[in-house]
């Protein structure tokens, strides 16, 4: 990942503005600490803050073609770049080994259709100066794994701005919006075009395809293998929950195969795994059990309540949200990311997305019907860019660490989101069953319907039984139950009853409903005083109309610790 900033059709002296643009780009340098680049052309400027993952010795950005008529800045990874390069008519034009340069050359040949060809996660902006007037194309990946914002200054409506984080736009724009995922922007029409239109995107369309456990498992394995594309040290985030443990298991297996393929002899996997929690946290204990089972090079880190409280203000600065759920979970992830970066690791695989795809949050137990279960799942996936993707992207990139999320691979989603919800719901007829049952079955070595290959059977179980069937523990709970309790107590001590009683006056829009939410809103407004900055904030809450608690903590749901296998 990297950081990008672009200003197009700027109204003033572009050479003088270059200093201001570099200053705005510097606000997101944490995303790309390895190198900075800047190109101006006409009344346009593109800045890039680079984190080197592939094409380490080359690939400096922004990219420019031979005559500098096309200029491109990309934040992301394109997994199918070699296949795309093979389709080019002119294969001699590459100036780097970056997986992202192909976007510019493919655009040169097929135009905006390039966005539909890309397999990966990305945010990019491209300046095309070949026509009578400059054209700007910008795009964001289908799910919104990579952050991107769009801004304008109403005094100069002809100008447009793009940045990886809104903090780079705060001083210049009075309109700041999150760039819609699965869309591209075209300045020729001054409009966004939705290019990602899978058949499952309509939340009212209920699938009826039976669950094929083998196809489901193989598609996730393929998604993990794609994301092992790197030239730098990498690892896995391992909370000890089902999702991160599955990703860690697949990664460890595939890493062992690489060792055998390169040396001809078996070897222990030395994939690095990382966990964090308060001392004695449930996640730390479970993660250590998984790491021992998989043979990973494991690091367990602890933090104190005070460490966490001290980090909250910085977390809100990096996340650019006041959502309670996101801040609770992001704080330990933020602390962990710094520790991981200190080990020399620059990329990690993570388990985000599974809970949305399979209805893993405990409130899904109370879905009134299969149809409502599925519709809620689709809504959660479509809005991941406002919550878990935002957390995974910005908590890690605060320290120049890239997070990749196999559960949100578009091919995997095409399989998983088209499964009849009766295979996903938390009951089988009148009998309750554990959440995410279908994906657990797909990796259960004793499940005949999963159709394991001889090689998989020989390799043994993917996970210990107690981990494969461990109940959902939301990350902000699993790091230690007194973490959330301490946040609530801290907010209680910081926000007076008098102040909270006037919350509707102070915050008439999106009024905080708890002192914890009030405190985070105060911090956010102090950090981002521009009223435009609040527009992209979305609060994560369970479906209270299903009769569940509005508290986003999993512990707030009655089913917590009561589900049996």
Annotated binding-site positions: 99, 237, 276, 350-351
Angle between helices 515-527 and 481-494 (to 10 degrees): 70
Residue 554, token pair as written in the block: 């999993």
Dihedral angle of Cα 235, 241, 247, 248, to the nearest 10 degrees: 40
Rg (CA), the chain: 23
- What is the per-residue burial (b if ≥16 Cβ within 10 Å, else e) of 269-297? bebbbbbbbbeebbbbebbbbbbebbbbe
Nearest to 30 by CA among 8, 12, 3, 9: 3
The binding site for L-glutamine comprises 99
Q: Is 289 helix (H, G, I), strand (E, B) or coil?
A: helix
Degrees, nearest 5: CA angle 401-152-322: 50
Residues in CB range of 189: below 8 A, 6 or more apart: none
Calpha distance 365→360 (Å, rounded): 9
The binding site for ATP comprises 237, 276, 350-351
Q: What length does the chain have?
A: 565
Cβ(330)–Cβ(308) under 8 Å?
A: no
3-state SS string over 18-36?
Answer: HHHHHHHHHCCHHHCCCEE
Calpha distance 312→318 (Å, rounded): 10
Cβ(359)–Cβ(426) under 8 Å?
A: yes
Residues in CB range of 175: below 8 A, 6 or more apart: 151, 152, 153, 154, 532
* β-sheet bridge partners, residue 186: 137, 191
- Give the residue numbers marked as catalytic: 2
Calpha distance 279→3 (Å, rounded): 35
Degrees, nearest 5: CA angle 6-9-12: 100
CB atoms within 10 A of CB 485: 13
Would you give the DSSP letter of residue 205? Answer: -
């Amino acid at each position: 990942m990297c950081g990008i900033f672009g200003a197009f059709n700027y109204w003033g002296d572009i050479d003088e503005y270059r200093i201001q643009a570099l200053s705005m780009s510097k606000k997101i340098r944490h995303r790309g600490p390895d190198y900075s680049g800047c190109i101006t052309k006409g009344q346009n400027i593109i800045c890039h803050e680079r984190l080197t993952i592939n094409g380490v010795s080359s690939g400096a950005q922004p990219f420019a073609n031979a005559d500098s008529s096309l200029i491109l800045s990309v934040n992301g990874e394109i997994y199918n770049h070699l296949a795309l390069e093979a389709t080019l008519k002119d294969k001699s034009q590459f100036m780097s080994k970056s997986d992202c340069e192909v976007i510019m050359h493919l655009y040169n040949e097929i135009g905006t259709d390039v966005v539909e060809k890309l397999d990966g996660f990305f945010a990019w902006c491209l300046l095309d100066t070949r026509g009578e007037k400059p054209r700007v194309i910008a795009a964001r990946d289908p799910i919104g794994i990579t952050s991107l914002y769009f801004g304008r200054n109403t005094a100069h409506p002809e100008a447009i701005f793009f940045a990886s984080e809104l903090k780079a736009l705060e001083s210049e724009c009075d309109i700041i919006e999150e760039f819609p995922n699965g869309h591209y922007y075209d300045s020729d029409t001054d409009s966004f075009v939705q290019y990602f239109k899978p058949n499952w995107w309509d939340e009212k369309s209920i699938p009826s395809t039976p669950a094929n456990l083998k196809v489901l498992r193989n598609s996730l394995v393929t998604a993990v293998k794609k994301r092992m594309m790197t030239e730098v040290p990498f690892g896995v985030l391992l909370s000890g929950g089902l999702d991160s443990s599955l990703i860690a298991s697949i990664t460890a297996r595939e890493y062992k195969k690489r060792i055998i393929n390169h040396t001809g002899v078996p070897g222990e996997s030395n994939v690095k795994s990382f966990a964090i929690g308060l001392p004695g946290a449930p996640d730390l204990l479970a993660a250590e059990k998984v790491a021992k089972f998989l043979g990973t090079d494991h690091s367990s880190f602890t933090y104190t309540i005070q460490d966490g409280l001290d980090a909250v203000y910085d977390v809100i600065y990096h996340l650019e949200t006041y959502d309670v759920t996101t801040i609770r979970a992001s704080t330990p992830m933020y602390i962990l990311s710094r520790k991981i970066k200190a080990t020399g690791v620059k990329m990690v695989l993570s388990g985000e997305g599974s809970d949305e795809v399979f209805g893993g949050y405990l409130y899904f137990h109370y879905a009134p019907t299969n149809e409502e279960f599925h519709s809620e799942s689709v809504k959660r996936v479509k809005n991941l860019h406002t919550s878990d993707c935002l957390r995974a992207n910005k908590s890690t990139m605060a320290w120049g660490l890239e997070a990749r999320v196999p559960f949100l691979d578009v091919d995997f989603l095409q399989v998983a989101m088209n499964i009849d919800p009766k295979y996903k719901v938390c009951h089988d007829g009148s009998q309750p069953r554990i959440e995410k049952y279908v994906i657990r079955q797909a990796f259960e070595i004793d499940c005949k319907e999963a159709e394991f290959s001889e090689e998989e059977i020989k390799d043994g179980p993917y996970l210990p039984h107690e981990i494969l069937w461990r109940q959902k523990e939301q990350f902000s709970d699993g790091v230690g139950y007194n973490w959330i309790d301490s946040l609530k107590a801290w907010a209680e001590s910081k926000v007076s009853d008098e102040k909270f009683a006037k919350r509707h006056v102070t915050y008439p829009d999106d009024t905080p409903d708890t002192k914890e939410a009030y405190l985070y809103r105060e911090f956010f407004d102090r950090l981002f005083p521009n009223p435009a900055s609040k527009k992209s904030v979305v609060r994560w809450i369970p479906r209270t109309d299903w009769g569940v608690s509005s508290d986003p903590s999993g512990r707030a749901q009655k089913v917590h610790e009561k589900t049996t296998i």
